[in-house]
Structure 1
Amino acid sequence: MKDLEGMIITSTSGQTYLLTEKVDKQGAQGIVYEESTGKFIIKLYKRGNEYQNRNRMNKLEWLIKQSYPDQFIKPLDLFTEPYIGYAMEKVINHISLNKLLVPSRELTMSEWYNEETGGLRRRLFLGHKIAMQFALLHESNRAYCDISGNNIMVNKDSKVASICMIDIDNIYIPGGDSGNILGTSRYMAPEIVTKQMQPDIFTDDYSLAVILFELLRCGHPYVGDMVEDGTPEQQEQAYRGMYPYVDEEDSPNSSTQMLPVEVVFTNKLADLFYRTFVKGKENRVARTTAREFALACLEASNKVMKCNECGHWHYASPDKERKYFCPWCDEENERPIFLQFKDRYYVVDAKERNRIILKEEPVESFVLREEKNAITNNYISNLYIRRDKFSKPVDQYFVINKAKNGKFYLLNPKNSILYLQKNGQKERIPITKDNDQVEIGYKDRLFFSDIDINISKDPNAEIDEKYRGLVFRNAVFL
């Protein structure tokens, strides 16, 4: 392609753009330019044959008519001359996700991971937002095709977790024409590398898992010590999944280079990655979905606490003596305050002559931090029983704030169904958006329905049959 700097080009809508400097060097598909207003980026493709050009233009015309998840930067205007291409909104104050995947050589791992790039909590929340965007895309049976750090942008500010997806001309409906976009080798699913399959949602799920693994662990799931010390050819083989997963039991390819699994993964995240990189390496349908990763990252982000000594985020996981040590500086921290969710339901007790009894089990425990704690509905709802009550899986349900006096207060700005039962009392107080903030204390309990089944120790207690098979979730302040 010839240099077009200084040229004025006209879009199919009649809008003119003065091309200024190139954004990056010329790539395989074409070249990207800035334009004089500073509001847009112009991507122009290399000329192909008549068939290729027609297909590319047809795809762009299709893409510009589509709706997208809110963090995708969509085409706004199209070009046919001098080259086929499109204009999109310019993303400002964001950098490539690659900046968070490759450790700095000028800083220690702790300085780079925690201070330079925001630490574990930010990375988990970035992972949640990235995965949720792809989950929403997949719900419309569209695949992104080339998930990589180059195409995901994150805010420059290490205290902000905003993201956006660029180069969405890679998107296509599985079974259609992918435009020969197969992906980036480091993130490509094995069946793409071997050319057995075209990109689809399952290959997207694989690529997303690699990105999230690198975001948290700072290493590739198949690049362990035996590959790190090997040849470039071995590294390429590892990208293709030809070596064992680094966290597979008794793996000869374990890693001492990346961050330890217990420092950056919850048990749930570890299981989800294992599913993709061991079971899902060959069995595509076994791979963890984008939505599963999104919710697991969100849950994990609510299990971290901030070290009082070094200020770094780490999981609130006690040792055998129930003490909370920071893995970054080894200092002991005070036990945080938790909100523990529990489920109540009927079960059949076979040992008691099949008598139906009521049971309560803990589901999840989340750390309440010294700030606004927005509790979302995916923790409140039993997703199989009452999912129809919620429009989105991560809508805010209620809020718990910690005040300067050290006390926690309950607010219900969305006017959700919410009741407070103070410790030692039977009365359930309805909390609405009209209430001032209500103090919540140790062992106080929250209910999310105007009906509930009570846990009774009375073996002759009457059973309300209309609630059989239902699960009622509540939460305890601990």
Structure 2
Amino acid sequence: MLFNIAQKVKLENGEFAIIKKFLGEGGQGEVYLVSQGSRDYALKWYKMLPSESFINNLRNNIHLGQPSNDFLWPLRLTEKSNQGVGYLMDLRPSIFKDFIAFLNAKVKFSSHSALVTYCLNLTNAFKQLHQRGYSYQDLNDGSFFFNPDNGDALICDNDNVAKYGTNLGIMGKMKYMAPEVVVKKNLPDTHTDRFSLAVILFMTLTYGHPFQGELLRNYPMIDEAAEYELYGASPIFVFDPNNTSNRPIRGYHNAVLKLWPELPNYVKQEFIKTFTEGLLDRENGRTTELKWVKTFQKYRDEIVKCPKCNFEYPAQTYPKSTCPKCKLNHEILGKLTINNHLIYLDSNKEIYQTHIDKTSSEYGKVVGRVVENKNNPNLKGFKNQSDREWKITDINGMSKIIPPEGVFRLDIKQLTIDFGEGITGEFQSI
């Protein structure tokens, strides 16, 4: 420990943070719980003084502020000293769990919907980061945390974030790097971020790595030379449709062999594109954050839950409404079409601000939800949780205003819903 309990650490603005507790350490430095003013923060302290360009970049990021609430962003710099330098950031809420623990099956998402929502939130966070003109440059499994209950994402270790075209000398872990970074042809940038993000997403959805398959048998151990080949010099996607030489190994890669077939085809195609065309075509071959956002929103909109075994699955992948797990043929309330969004409605299904507002990026803001009648759970309705009135019109032309917190019944064959601001939807029972 570099600091003692109750020791004061001076900040650049002349104020002081007081050390309360040692939290841990990593390769770069140590992390402490500190108090500053009336609040507690985390202090990350670098054991070795970083370069002046690194510190200036960090200072600039603090000035500009976080791209979204999904980033645990640096807040204040300390003064430099012979002991090094550090910065304050908010504490990570305890509800957020380590992504590494997820990969090791020690922590799970509460539902498939929460897992898909996490993928959506993660890609949307990087969309907002890149829209700022920044790249993350060091995506790896230690940077991400998730709320298992609702799929909220939290991205940490943001001290390596830099403007597009700027590199701070950080390369990352080979298994998460784009091939051109592994072979040192290119420095990290937005294009390499997209490749690394796809690796993280693939691992999230399959518990497998996109380039770890039969070719692992060629190496007695996965050392640096093996990683250079597998991830840099000669990467082959485990589900490359034109090259079967690196398929997952049965008995060893069971999770990815089971979960890959369960993904909707439109999700698979984005992975195939990024991990085949995108190996060489940096600009056009890699799925963009916006395309991933639309892909995962579609995936979330299609998820329904089996009333017997509670298994969640995308309804469009299994169009006969038959649960792929217990084989129960069950009823789905209906389809709600809003612009280009197709939402399958079942118990507790939600719609979001992005469905009824084309300019919104609030993919987690609920504006409507399927609810049950308190006296008759079999009778379902749809609750307006937005801040504006809706107008529903049935097939006979009869209209009704649904105020905020109001509910309309879903035991109607067909409805037109006017959400306001020129946005309409069509509900059709199945």
Identify the TM-score tier after normalising by the shorter chain.
0.7 to 0.9
CA contact (8 A) 1:412 1:431 kept: no
- Structure 1's 289 and 221: CA in aligned 2 closer, same or farther, altered over 3 A? same
Kindly report which structure 2 residues correspond to 1:168-207, keeping only aligned pairs within 5 A, or say none. 168-176=158-166, 178-207=167-196
Are 1:476 and 2:413 counterparts?
A: no
1:101 partnered with 2:122: no
Name 2:44's counterpart in structure 1.
Answer: 43
Deviation at 1:187, TM superposition (A): 0.9
State the secondary structure of the residue aligned to 1:476.
Answer: strand
Give matches, 1:220-231, under 5 Å.
Answer: 220-227=209-216, 230-231=219-220
Tell me, yes or no, if the aligned pair for 1:8 and 1:18 is still in contact at 8 Å.
yes
TM-score (norm 2): 0.84
**Distance in 2 separating the partners of 1:377 and 1:443:** 25
Alpha-carbon offset, residue 273 of structure 1: 1.2
Given that 2:75 and 2:88 are in contact with CA atoms closer than 8 Å, whether structure 1 keeps it comes out as yes
C-alpha spacing 1:391/1:293, structure 2 compared with 1 (3 Å): closer
- In 2, the alpha carbon distance for the partners of 1:331 and 1:75 equals 50
CA displacement 1:271-312 (0-9 Å, x = unmatched):
111121111111011211122212222221222222334333
Contact 2:22–2:31 (Cα < 8 Å) also in 1:
yes
- From 125, 138, 146, give the equivalent of 2:117: 125
* 8 Å Cα contact 2:181-2:232 kept in structure 1: no
Identity of aligned pairs, percent? 20
**RMSD (Å), alpha carbons:** 3.2
Specify the SS of the correspondent of 1:14.
Answer: coil
User: Displacement, 1:324?
Assistant: 0.7
Aligned to 1:458: none
Note if 1:336 corresponds to 2:328: no
Structure 2: distance between partners of 1:205 and 1:306: 31
Between 1:240-249 and 1:396-405, the stretch displaced more is 396-405
Query: How far has the Cα of 1:472 moved from its partner?
Result: 8.2
Given that residues 117 and 152 in structure 2 are in contact (C-alpha distance below 8 angstroms), is that contact kept between their aligned partners in structure 1?
no
User: Which residue, out of 201, 215, 223, partners 1:212?
Assistant: 201
CA, structure 1 residues 439+311, in 2 after alignment: closer, same or farther (shift >3 Å)?
Answer: closer
The code of the aligned residue for 2:382 comes to L
Task: Report how far residue 36 of structure 1 moved.
Answer: 6.1
For residues 41-80 of structure 1, give each alpha carbon's deviation from its aligned partner in whole angstroms, at most 9, with x where no partner exists: 11122334xxx54223322221210122122122222111
Q: What SS does structure 1 have at the residue aligned with 2:135? A: coil
Report if aligned partners of 1:411, 1:433 keep a CA contact under 8 Å in 2. no
Conservation of the 8 A alpha-carbon contact between 1:98 and 1:150: yes
Does the alignment pair 1:429 with 2:399? yes
Unaligned ranges ≥5, structure 2: none
Counterpart contact for 1:318–1:324, Cα < 8 Å = no
Q: 1:196 to 1:45 in 2, by over 3 A?
A: same
Find runs of 4+ consecutive structure 1 residues off by over 6 angstroms.
Answer: 449-452
Kindly report which structure 2 residues correspond to 1:386-397, keeping only aligned pairs within 5 A, or say none.
387=358, 390-392=359-361, 394=363
Contact 1:309 1:331 in 2 (8 A): no
Q: Tell me which residue corresponds to 1:456.
A: none
The answer to whether the 8 Å contact 1:152/1:164 transfers is yes
Pair 1:55-2:50 in alignment: no
Distance change (3 Å), C-alpha of 1:333 and 1:16: farther
Alignment correspondent of 1:440: 410
Give the residue type in structure 2 aligned to 1:168.
N
Verify the 8 A CA contact 1:369 1:402 in the aligned structure 2. no
Give the Cα–Cα distance (whole angstroms) in 2 for the partners of residues 197 and 306 of structure 1. Answer: 45
1:165 to 147, 150, 155: 155
CA–CA separation in structure 2 for the residues paired with 1:338 and 1:91: 40
SS at match of 1:410: strand
The structure whose Rg is larger is 1
CA contact (8 A) 1:217 1:264 kept: no
Aligned to 1:399: 368
In structure 2, distance between residues paired with 1:418 and 1:88 = 42
- Structure 1 residues 291, 394: CA separation in 2 closer, same or farther (over 3 Å shift)? same
Q: Supply the AA of the counterpart residue of 1:293.
A: W
Q: Distance in 1 between matches of 2:139 and 2:398?
A: 49
